[in-house]
Structure 1
């Protein structure tokens, strides 16, 4: 995909937006990706972060601050349709398309030198897609990977051998998001009726689905705000991509670099079994299981992600 860039200086907003140089990376199908570059341009290492479904790049705030303080150059960006990035013309959205977007970001902001990749949930899947489509990058340009709360596939169970309750739930999810894709305006209206991100009912739902029981309420509230701000067209449009994601058996390129796999013990969206399956496919990878944490382990326990990244940086 072709890219062009437009650079602007940006500061830290009252809402906690990351400080750094704001860059727009334009993909071949017209998506404008909001990218933030923080840290010295001559740093020995550049870490590129890819966020999860319905979040945006500012979710990595704690990791960015810690790494930049240690002299690392850091790149965060919003996936198409998320945060400050536009959707582009490509349809349907796929994880492979996100892998192409990641390649465009790397080409635009880190065209030379060693790069480390860190992806949470859908962002981890994005890295897997890049590894499958551009294996030559791993070991030559990409020097290490951290995968956080993610999966190589089978996120939405299917098949006749499943218990009836699981089949019914999976079918209901698929139909719900398919309806949302066709009629996003109805989903948007429906969401306006529901409690907003500051209401106790909404926060309880977010905590139960994404966090461990001891999570800081402020972190839960910040996450709820990100979720609520994501357009329903994006929420529904990416569900089939997640459901269809399957990179099992295609991760050989990742074996060329050090890999750390981080997961919350209580993760409900990408349960521990998915990270264990990744570790089995990548036997040289290091698996880190964080007790009492959920899917948002990157904010609940930020050092669980920062520490392996520091180790990878030190090894360059």
Structure 2
């Protein structure tokens, strides 16, 4: 027997940025919830990368104890591109717009996976006054504060060796590349093996890998190519002061090939009060592989935020 169905109030919103991008967002839970969780996804993914975490939080949302906002980063999912140059700093400004428009009041906990974690760091550099006041906690999952591509032994380092000429050629022929991609859909065994080897740990199920492959396959060639220089240029290791004002939980899988453990150790060194979690047999897609670990951290941060609010 299954329990009673959970009823969650949901609305879809479009946040328009100053440069004309339309950021597609989904808001679960009531506006008067005591806290809001805002989740930012990674490169060539979409807000669906947080679905497993969202499902585990559904009882709390249905009970009115939490509002959850997931959105597609510009150029990803259902969000448009806008007119600005593609940089991680621009993504930080986008996150600020999401907060200002969809969560203008009340305590907020931020969660960022991969490029989404970098987005939170960029927000901290641009809007430090939010941290410790509006933003009460941060979860950083499978991410980096900089020096992402210098190690040629990592997957990110190997991709960085692609020349600008190769990338520009691929972008110019995006339609052709897209047609080629359709010949190897996410259901194809070779596609799934490639995704598994690059992004997942030993315990990942076939269902996890297929779900992740489908999310990434829905991304365009342009999103893959246009964001690559932004990731390479991302550097916030000396600009994390805002995050020292709030509790931070850092997660990395011991099999992560895109943002290996050293990046999380660097974050932990820069944020002495942060809690560092290295999860065994887990790859880059930690929000799918080990969502309960992430939810437990979110619950801790929400409890701390509630305690701070009660004491204020």
TM-score over 0.5 for the pair: yes
Q: Which runs of 5+ in 1 are unaligned?
A: 1-17
Is 2:9–2:29's contact at 8 Å kept on the other side of the alignment? no
User: What corresponds to 1:3 in structure 2?
Assistant: none
What is the TM-score normalised by the length of structure 1?
Answer: 0.88
RMSD: 2.0
SS at match of 1:240: helix
Higher deviation after alignment, 177-186 or 274-283 = 177-186
1:34 aligns with one of 11, 24, 28? 24
Q: String of CA shifts for 1:75-110, please: whole Å, max 9, x gaps.
A: 0000011111111122x2000010000000001110
**Aligned: 1:49 with 2:39:** yes
1:77 aligns with one of 67, 71, 79? 71
Higher deviation after alignment, 129-138 or 55-64 = 55-64
**Aligned: 1:242 with 2:235:** no
User: What corresponds to 1:293 in structure 2?
Assistant: 282
What is the TM-score normalised by the length of structure 2?
Answer: 0.89
CA distance in 2, matches of 1:110, 1:272: 32
User: What corresponds to 2:89 in structure 1?
Assistant: 96
CA distance in 2, matches of 1:173, 1:263: 29
Is 2:160–2:232's contact at 8 Å kept on the other side of the alignment? no
Is 2:249–2:275's contact at 8 Å kept on the other side of the alignment? yes
CA distance in 1, matches of 2:113, 2:158: 28
Cα deviation, residue 174, structure 1: 5.4
Is 1:177–1:239's contact at 8 Å kept on the other side of the alignment? no
CA distance in 2, matches of 1:218, 1:253: 38
Is 2:46–2:76's contact at 8 Å kept on the other side of the alignment? yes
> What are the residue-to-residue correspondences of 1:197-216 with 2, within 5 Å?
197-216=186-205
CA distance in 1, matches of 2:243, 2:304: 17
Q: Which runs of 5+ in 2 are unaligned?
A: 1-7, 306-312
CA distance in 2, matches of 1:69, 1:28: 36
CA distance in 2, matches of 1:25, 1:267: 32
